[in-house]
Amino acid sequence: MRNIRLTIEYDGTDFRGWQQQIPEHRTVQDEIEKALKIIFRTKTKVIGSGRTDSGVHARGQVANFKTANRRLKPADIQRALNANLPEDITILEVKEAPKDFHAQYSAKRKTYSYTVLNGPARPAIDRAFCHYHPYRLNVASMRKAASELKGKKDFRAFMAANPALRATEKDKDTVRTMSRLDIKKQGDLVRITVTANGFLYKMVRNIVGTLLAVGSGQLAPRDIKMILAHKDRQRAGKTAPARGLCLENVEYGKARNRQ
């Protein structure tokens, strides 16, 4: 069996996230598996690096699948997939992967970006790709708060309740290592970039919501230590909307990391 690795870009606006769900819910995984069934004329399971929620975008999602087909080269598979996928999904790269490569379990780090439009006028053209925050943000305070989140921390306070996992959430290991949390401002755009060895459910959006609360004066940068220490989701900021979030990149190595 061949192991095929995909790098995928998608506009998440009209999807119920990555993971396959009940038939009436449109997902990225389902669309790719339908295209593969047309190409290989058999059901093919696609494994993603992780779930993205409804409305979340990706520039560098990674997935893999196994196939017995030896005839189609990676470039042929890429062309065939893009010919059979809807216009809001594009396969950027297809290549052969080692037999033990697993898009989820082989992942070492992931990078997400979150885009905020912080200006006097709401967006029209880019409204599906950014969160509009009309009140002026104190970006310097946001950066001070962000510095408290870097490193190896227990991020339980930034984990949203997942209906599918409620029975086991209290026992979940919520320690993650965040190697990057940058905030850059260009004109009215504020872009938050986060890299970590794994993310909890809605963790990035909850961190962004907390940073926006700091930037708006509702929280102080020093409050971040207290939020982390109490491990209480209610003390952190609101969950930022999905539309501003994008999975930028997935890095791979030998180590198996939690997702």
Catalytic residues: 53
The answer to whether the beta carbons of residues 94 and 4 sit under 8 Å apart is: yes
The answer to whether the beta carbons of residues 19 and 48 sit under 8 Å apart is: yes
Torsion over CA: 143, 147, 152, 155 (sign): negative
The answer to whether the beta carbons of residues 35 and 21 sit under 8 Å apart is: no
Q: Which two tokens stand for residue 211?
A: 């940073």
Q: What CA–CA distance (Å, rounded) separates 51 from 28?
A: 10
Between the two ends of the chain, the Cα-to-Cα distance in Å is 26
Beta bridge partners of 111: 195, 249
Please give the sequence-ordered ranges of beta strands (E in DSSP) within the chain, or none if there are none: 2-10, 47-48, 57-67, 89-97, 107-117, 131-132, 151-154, 175-186, 189-196, 245-252
Q: What CA–CA distance (Å, rounded) separates 174 from 196?
A: 13
Q: Which two tokens stand for residue 157?
A: 């306070």
Q: What CA–CA distance (Å, rounded) separates 202 from 22?
A: 21
Residues ≥6 apart with Cβ < 8 Å to 47: 63, 64, 65, 102, 103, 104
